Amino acid sequence: MTVADEKAWGDFWSQQRGQGSGGCLPEGWRGIEASQRAAWRAFVRHLPSRVRLLDLATGDGRVMCWLREELPNLHAIGIDIAPQLPPAPAGTQIRAGVSMEQLPFEDASYDAVVSQFGFEYGDIAKVANEIARVLAPDGVVGLLTHRIDGPIMVHNRERQRQIGWIFERKNLFALAHETLAARGRAFAATPMAIAQIVEEGSWRFGPQSAAWEIAEAVRRTLVMQADIRTEEIAVLLRQIEALATNELERISSLERACKTTEDTAAFDAALAAAGLQAETVEVLHDHASQRPCADFRILRLANQSS
């Protein structure tokens, strides 16, 4: 994961604090989440009643939360490279700013290692070796990974297209700053060009699309009360632009992760080289649409797999 990726995901999770959202899932994400929860509920059958569990790229810790609903005695800790994360679910711990490639834990210290939409963002060969190192000899691994043909990637590619339209086709932020510079400290109506971008974003992509949302945020910023200093408005515009840029970085990171999982030969080879052998591989389907949405692997150390 690049420095830009780390910042993008750090900003993403800092914005999710307390929202209870679907993370990077598309609109109508409840069907995908139901599939995920069912997979982890089934995974519990592979765990003893008391277990030390490590969750890689934990995000908001939702996997640990789901597993503790089934196993209240679960001792779970999640790590994530993002520097800011939502609060840990009750009964769990989260450590931010920790790399999957360099886990700060002793050998054989966990009975289970899990990851949901996380493992594939790292250097999979290095992360696989770290998993094998910290896993107890009879331990189990659960990896839920992206599919490049799944609705999550489809949804995010569409957002990428819309945000690209704002930057590349409409040059919205340059126009907004030019407008602000031209009027100085005096209050003025929003120029017609920006209002037209808002309207076009709505009819072209939808009234709640990323294109409409960003353009409307810029429009509202430019029509703030006359007693707001021009410099303050400029700061707000830069903040909106930074959020949009970070989302593009996050989606690019997601796309690279999907390409990693798409190359199944290299993916499986990295696991095998670390001594991890798949016990089962299952394609998960969105409970609502029945479209494939993720792959779920259960692995063990090669000399322990049955």
- pLDDT tens, position by position, 18-71: 444 444 555 556 789 999 999 999 999 999 878 999 999 999 999 999 999 999
Q: Does the pLDDT value for residue 125 go beyond 70?
A: yes
List the single range of 28-37, 101-110, 203-212, 278-287 with lowest mean pLDDT.
Answer: 28-37
Residue 226 pLDDT grade (very low, low, confident, very high; cuts 50, 70, 90) = low
- What is residue 224's predicted lDDT score, i.e. its pLDDT? 76
- What is residue 19's predicted lDDT score, i.e. its pLDDT? 45
Looking at residues 206-221, what average pLDDT do you find? Answer: 94
Name the phi and psi angles at 53, rounded to 5: -125, 140
Query: What's the number of CA atoms in the CB half-sphere (13 Å) around residue 145?
Result: 27
For the chain, the maximum distance between any two Cα atoms, rounded to a whole number of angstroms, is 74
Segment 140-177, tens digit of pLDDT = 999 999 999 999 999 999 999 999 999 999 999 999 99
- What is residue 127's predicted lDDT score, i.e. its pLDDT? 98
Helix, strand, coil in percent for the chain, rounding step 5: 50, 20, 30
% the chain with pLDDT above 70: 86
Looking at residues 258-271, what average pLDDT do you find? Answer: 97
- Residue 285's closest CA among 150, 153, 157? 150
Q: Does the pLDDT value for residue 5 go beyond 90?
A: no
Q: Does the pLDDT value for residue 306 go beyond 50?
A: no
Residue 240 near residue 224, CB atoms below 8 Å: no
Looking at residues 264-288, what average pLDDT do you find? Answer: 95
Distances (CA, A) of 198 to 154, 224, 251, 282: 24, 16, 23, 43
Distances (CA, A) of 47 to 39, 74, 231, 298: 13, 10, 57, 12
Q: Encoding tokens for residue 7?
A: 């910042």
- Residue 58's closest CA among 35, 33, 83, 77? 77
CA distance 151 to 301: 32
Looking at residues 279-288, what average pLDDT do you find? Answer: 92
17: Cβ contacts below 8 Å, ≥ 6 apart: 86, 87
Length of the chain: 306
CA distance 9 to 81: 9
Q: Does the pLDDT value for residue 92 go beyond 70?
A: yes
152: Cβ contacts below 8 Å, ≥ 6 apart: 24, 25, 26, 32, 117, 146, 254, 293
List strands edge to edge, sheet with 75-80. Answer: 92-96, 75-80, 52-56, 110-116, 135-145, 292-301, 276-285
CA distance 297 to 300: 10
Q: In degrees, to the nearest 5, what angle opens at C-alpha 255 toward C-alphas 175 and 81?
A: 90
- What is residue 228's predicted lDDT score, i.e. its pLDDT? 78
Q: Does the pLDDT value for residue 303 go beyond 70?
A: yes
B/e letters for 160-173, b = 16+ CB within 10 Å, e = fewer, are bebbbbbbeebebb
- What is residue 185's predicted lDDT score, i.e. its pLDDT? 47
Q: Does the pLDDT value for residue 192 go beyond 90?
A: no
**pTM, to two decimals:** 0.86
Q: Encoding tokens for residue 288?
A: 């609502």
DSSP state of 201: H
- What is residue 241's predicted lDDT score, i.e. its pLDDT? 96
Residue 288 near residue 31, CB atoms below 8 Å: yes
Q: Does the pLDDT value for residue 3 go beyond 90?
A: no
User: What does pLDDT average to over the chain?
Assistant: 88
